[in-house]
Amino acid sequence: MTPAAQQALHEAQAVFGYTTYIDLVRPLIKDKKIVSTGMRQEVDRVRRALQAARQGSACALVCSGDPGIYALAGLVFEICRENSIPIGDNQNSLKIEVIPGVPALGAGSALLGAPLMTDFACISLSDLLTPWEAIEKRIQASAWADLVIVLYNPRSKKRNWQLEAARKIILEHRSPDTPVGLVTSATRQEESVNLCTLNSLDCSHAGMQTTVFIGNSRTFVYDSRMITPRGYHEKYQLEMKEL
Would you list the DSSP string of 131-167? -HHHHHHHHHHHHHTT-EEEEES---SS--SHHHHHH
For the chain, the straight-line distance linking the first and the last C-alpha, in angstroms and rounded, comes to 42
The pTM is what? 0.91
The amino acid that residue 212 corresponds to is V
In 3D space, the residue among 155, 215, 151, 211 whose CA is nearest the CA of residue 184 turns out to be 211
How do residues 61-82 score in pLDDT, each as one tens digit?
Answer: 999 889 999 999 999 999 999 9
Percent share of the chain, pLDDT over 90: 77
Which residues contact residue 98 at a Cβ distance below 8 angstroms, ignoring those fewer than 6 apart? Answer: 67, 68, 73
Q: Determine how many CB atoms are found less than 10 A away from the CB of residue 213.
A: 26
Q: Which of 25-39, 54-68, 228-242 has the lowest mean pLDDT?
A: 228-242
**Does residue 242 register a pLDDT over 80?**
no
* Most confident residue range from 36-45, 56-65, 111-120: 111-120
Dihedrals φ, ψ of 169, to 5°?
-65, -45
Structure-model confidence comparison of residues 132 and 30, the more confident one: 132
Cα(45)–Cα(59) distance, rounded to whole angstroms?
Answer: 12
> What was the pLDDT predicted at 108?
97
What would the mean pLDDT of 16-30 be, rounded to a whole number?
A: 90
183 three-state secondary structure: strand
CA distance 146 to 142: 6
Q: How confident is the model at residue 30 (pLDDT cuts 50, 70, 90)?
A: confident
On average, the pLDDT of the chain sits at 93
pLDDT at position 243: 55
pLDDT of residue 148: 98
- The three-class DSSP label of residue 210 is strand
Report the pLDDT value the prediction gives residue 98, as an integer from 0 to 100.
95
What is the chain's alpha carbon radius of gyration, rounded to the nearest angstrom? 21
